[in-house]
Amino acid sequence: MFGYPIPRSLIVVAAIALAALALGGLSLRQKSATVSDGDQTVTFSAESATVGGALASAGIALFPEDIVQPSAESPLDSGTAIVITRALPVQIIEGGVALSIRTHQRKISAIILESGKTVSPEDAVYADGVRLPIDQWGAVGAIPHVILIQRSAPITIIDGNETQTINTAVRTVGEAIAEAGITLFAADGVTPPLGAPITSGLTISIERSLPITIEVDGRSLQTRTHRTTVAEVLADTGVTLVGADTTTPALDAPPPADGSPIRVARVVEQIVIETKPLPYETQHQAVADLEIDNVQIIQAGAYGTTASRVRVRYENGIEISRAAEDTWVSIAAQPRILGYGAKIVVRTLDTPDGPIEYWRAIRMYATSYSAARAGTPRSAPWYGRTRSGKTLTIGMAAIDLRVMPLGTRLYVPGYGFATAEDTGGGVKGKWIDLGYDDWNYVGWNQSVTVYFLTPVPPADQIKWVIP
């Protein structure tokens, strides 16, 4: 039971006053009384005629709901035993409005009724924050400081494609969802929030979260989200992008609903300098005192170097691209300079066909052909015709124009005299194809020295450097 104790300071004052009266020889109308107030008992003297007056003179305050025995109007006799039964304070809250009363009732239902309120079985009653089962409303027990009455109210819960309307007497949105048997994940969105109070006609919307996998830094994170963009999902999970880091899908894209993961690529870019050899070119230079078809190295030549500034991009430590931003010559190449002989020496040679006078001799690979063996159809207008327009016969040869011009007179040992009159697709460089008639054809397939006969042609018609 809750009591209201008499302040000990008042008891001391009353005792001192009574002692002073006794010492002073005051009137013998003083009467003694004993007061039991809860778990405290006090004996004092008073000259009041009534119980109430004695309690007032002793500084004992009473509330209107308190019960005094004998009653406050009863006469005070010497030795009167006074018993005070205190009414207990209770605060009753309904709809956010608090009502304070004092009561001697020991049942929750009786206290509520005494306050002028009623409850139905659909309502909920909370005693000091704890919901009481309906079978405890009428039970005798400890009286709470606060009684909350939560009226049953209709609410609607929208959970994705499912909607249900229920009557509930719980206090908050979270309690209503639990009472409806709905399981929530931490990332699910609820409007109004879980701690919001229940009001009649309230609509609760549940936005379900998606299961999401995030692959980042070699780990796979499992989470759920109801966010609308990848950026928001990463922010919720504490994944931070740095510099040129990228994501798949993009940051402004919605989270994947098909179960595919959000991939975070850690991007690092580096600038490196790459070098490559720069080939040198070969230049030719005439040497007047060097005989034709001889070569002299004037300058050996040296490779140079090119340098490139290259941006290399790595994703999760793996190189995915490199791009040259600029290139320059860091070391210039030095050309190789070959000196070619520009001196002509005329010589003579005795041959089975008589002495010849020549100014050049080149070792060449010799083959032979005739009109029927040249690969040209007989019906073709140019069948049997040479590059110079003549009819092919023995004493004509096909050559590479980079070695000699048409009309050059030659001597080929084993073949005899020949004139360059033709060219061929397969005749390249130091290769000569010796011409025959179909009836006198002789096959050639060997190397031979070819002599260039005098007179020496003008310098501008001489192929000084032969490929």
Arch. (CATH architecture) of 153-207: Roll (3.10)
What mean pLDDT do residues 211-225 have? 91
Q: Where are the domains of the chain?
A: 8-85, 88-150, 153-207, 211-265, 270-341, 344-461
Burial of 233 (0-12, 13-18, 19+ CB in 10 A): buried
pLDDT interval class at 203 (50, 70, 90): very high
* Cβ atoms of residues 13 and 46 within 8 Å: no
Residue 409's nearest CA partner among 394, 392, 427, 397 is: 397
Q: Strand, helix or coil at 338?
A: strand
Model pTM score: 0.48
State residue 4's pLDDT score. Answer: 41
Per-residue pLDDT tens for 228-281? 899 999 998 899 999 889 999 999 999 998 889 999 999 998 999 999 999 999
Do the domains spanning 8-85 and 153-207 agree at the CATH topology level? yes
What is the CATH class of 344-461? Answer: mainly beta
Phi-psi region of 384 (alpha: psi -120 to 50; beta: other; left: phi over 0): left
Instruction: Please state, in angstroms and as integers, the Cα–Cα distance from residue 268 to each residue in 133, 262, 273, 444, following that order.
Output: 64, 19, 17, 67
E strands, 266-375, where? Answer: 267-278, 282-291, 295-299, 304-315, 318-331, 336-343, 347-349, 356-369
pLDDT interval class at 454 (50, 70, 90): very high
Arch. (CATH architecture) of 8-85: Roll (3.10)
- Of the two residues 353 and 24, the one the predictor is more confident about is 353
**Span 88-150: which CATH code?**
3.10.20.30
Per-residue pLDDT tens for 49-86? 898 888 888 888 889 988 999 988 889 888 888 899 89
Per-residue pLDDT tens for 72-121? 888 988 888 889 989 899 999 988 899 999 998 888 888 899 898 889 88
H or E stretch at 224:
strand 219-225
In the numeric block, which tokens belong to residue 68? 């005094």
* Cβ atoms of residues 177 and 192 within 8 Å: no
Give the mean pLDDT of the chain.
89
Arch. (CATH architecture) of 270-341: Single Sheet (2.20)
Q: How far apart are CA 316 and CA 310, in angstroms?
A: 19
Q: Which residue has the tokens 């090119």?
A: 306
How does DSSP assign 425-442, residue by residue?
TT--SSEEEEE--STT--
E strands, 139-194, where? Answer: 146-150, 153-159, 162-168, 189-191
Sequence-distant (≥ 6) Cβ neighbours of residue 102 within 8 angstroms: 63, 65, 66, 87, 88, 89, 90
Q: How many CA atoms lie within 13 A of 1 on its CB side?
A: 15
Provide the total of helices (H) and of strands (E) in the chain, helices listed first.
5, 30
Cross-sheet strand order for the sheet of 88-94: 97-103, 88-94, 146-150, 124-127, 130-131
pLDDT interval class at 1 (50, 70, 90): very low
* Bridge partners of residue 369, in order along the sequence: 435
Q: Is the pLDDT of residue 163 over 50?
A: yes
pLDDT interval class at 406 (50, 70, 90): very high
State residue 29's pLDDT score. Answer: 74
